[in-house]
Structure 1
Amino acid sequence: MHVFVTGATGWVGSAVVQDLIGAGHQVTGLARNDEKAARLAASGATVLRATLDDLGALKNAASEADAVIHTAFNHDFSKFPESAAQDQRVIEALGSALEGSERPLLVTSGLSGLPAGATEADLPDPASPRRSEVDARALKERGVRVATVRLAPSVHGIGDHGFIPIVIRLAREKGVSAYIGDGQNKWSGVYRLDAAKVYRLALEQGVTEAVYHAVADEAVPFRDIASIIGRRLGLPAEPREREHFGWFATMAGGNMAASSVRTRALLSWNPTGPSLLADLEQPAYYA
């Protein structure tokens, strides 16, 4: 099939493009500058040179595709309200291009705000500032074949520029690899290439669900993450108050464990990449 992918040069999106092309699908990917466009073209994808604010171009690309995968999101946390609003506009534009057809849309979100141990049946927090999944469900009520892929908070692998590098940077800056309380709040994790397969398998199997969980390690104590980072950096791993983490305290103290039992069964998805803790043992994570 011909798939349009936003965020096609990003950490998750580039892996999705790689996986789709490897499985024989045709990909058009969004790239916002010439350097990213060249890298995307070299991967074998057709390039749409545009930004997330070019809603007309996004709608046209979605209209010409058999399916759409939306992975793009501006992760500048100092501008989070603006990023969330932009994301809403993009989801609406993509959905309007697909409305009235059976062509599917996969929207990316996370696990923040869900109950600990969440399953695919749990509903998103309507008060969450990121409304990706809420907006996707609104499209579903309009008849769009849409689903949300919830990513684990750590989509890990060498080259990671997500939340784990923030934890590592904080440890270096503060001289301690810290956790909150007893550190038994749980994160989940998924190897980047395993996460990419969830998107492809969901498309190939017809997007029959409202939610899929790209979660391999379902419940990793944050203290275990901090302990490995501390050992690798030669720093103590110790408890600290929430103030130690600044804006990152909600994530560092968050319970973002989740089950992927249903996703694995429905998609025959069997993660094969390294675990989060195994990845954190690699020296390249600290280069």
Structure 2
Amino acid sequence: MKIFCTGASGYIGGSVAAHLAAAGHQVTGLVRSAEKAEAVCRLGIEPVMGTLDDAAVLARAAGAADLVVNAASADHRGAVTAMLAALAGSGKAFIHTSGSSIVGTRSRGARSDDVFDENTPVTPSPARAARVALNELILSFRDKECRPVIVCPSLIYGIGHGVGRDSVQVPLLINLARKRGNAAHAGPGENIWSNVHIDDLVPLYMLAIDKAPAGSFYFAENGENSMREVCRAINRMLGFPGQPSAMSMLDAESEWGEGTAENTMASNSRVRARRARVELDWRPRAKGLIEEIEQGCYRE
């Protein structure tokens, strides 16, 4: 198949695009620089120069492909509408990447007991209302003769297989621990995020490409941990004695910025990937997050 992938030099999109190219598909990937173009070429991906603001470039590349994987941004409405307009009436698939912070609750490091699956109504925070609205727009294109599908990962961990090698939360925590000589979480660190290994996430994309019905939405998770549990594992991995420390939200915002601190590092995002397991027979098998930190790629 001819497949166009945005985010081809990133962590998720790069891993998916590299897998598809290795499987023999003709993959083109959106890149912003000559350096990234050279890097994706080495993975067998044909670069398409441009950005998410280049609507004509996106529409042309999407229209020429048999399916599109959008993994560059969960929030760029202009890019999405340009590609979907090119696919309307074609019956082709549009696999979009969202993120489970759509169910996130700002809690300043406190625990929430709210758990969501694909059938749970969502009232998003103001920071994620536009993302939820964009997801609804994407799924509405099932009525315009194309096959929109949304994959919604939780916290992703593990080493990527493309140009982009690192995820967000775990590297941020490890880097901060190295800087401070002790792992640290925002507030009490009792907030919980579901999580999924990149080695399990990529197969979910393959299943979605192969057989997800039009209008499908899938969470991706295979367990959950509190940020305090993650920080304890980081201390053990790095050989730091004692318990991790609790940062004030002011300190967390100083380290990571207000949006990342509040919506990513100190929030809760607890989901269950029931639909992927039932509809697509998705069977995650990779190491759990704590094991991967203590004994896997982060130690290596």
**2:89 aligns to what?**
100
Q: Is the 8 A contact 2:30 2:49 kept in 1?
A: yes
**1:114 aligns to what?**
103
**2:233 aligns to what?**
228
Following the alignment from structure 2 to structure 1, what is the Cα–Cα distance between the partners of residues 159 and 237? 16
**1:59 aligns to what?**
59
Q: Is the 8 A contact 1:148 1:210 kept in 2?
A: yes
Q: Is the 8 A contact 2:95 2:150 kept in 1?
A: yes
Following the alignment from structure 1 to structure 2, what is the Cα–Cα distance between the partners of residues 132 and 155? 22
**1:148 aligns to what?**
150
What SS does structure 2 have at the residue aligned with 1:112? helix
Q: Is the 8 A contact 1:215 1:260 kept in 2?
A: yes
What SS does structure 1 have at the residue aligned with 2:267? coil
Q: Is the 8 A contact 1:7 1:30 kept in 2?
A: yes
Following the alignment from structure 2 to structure 1, what is the Cα–Cα distance between the partners of residues 49 and 121? 35
Residues matched between the structures, number: 275
For normalisation by structure 1, the TM-score amounts to: 0.85
Greater RCO, CA 8 A, separation 6+: 2
Q: Does 1:135 align with 2:134?
A: yes
User: Any gaps of 5 or more consecutive residues in structure 1?
Assistant: 75-83
Residue identity over aligned pairs, in percent, reads 29
Following the alignment from structure 2 to structure 1, what is the Cα–Cα distance between the partners of residues 154 and 45? 26
How much does 1:172 deviate?
Answer: 3.4
User: Any gaps of 5 or more consecutive residues in structure 2?
Assistant: 105-113
How much does 1:8 deviate?
Answer: 0.7
How much does 1:165 deviate?
Answer: 1.2
For normalisation by structure 2, the TM-score amounts to: 0.82
How much does 1:208 deviate?
Answer: 3.8
1:65-214 equivalences in 2 (<5 Å)? 65-73=65-73, 84=75, 87-114=76-103, 116-124=114-122, 125=124, 127-129=126-128, 131-142=130-141, 143-144=143-144, 145-157=147-159, 159-180=165-186, 182-214=188-220
Q: Is the 8 A contact 2:157 2:167 kept in 1?
A: no
RMSD of aligned alpha carbons: 2.5
Structure 1, residues 108-145: CA drift from partner, whole Å, max 9, x if none? Answer: 11111416321122355273347344223214334243
**2:15 aligns to what?**
15
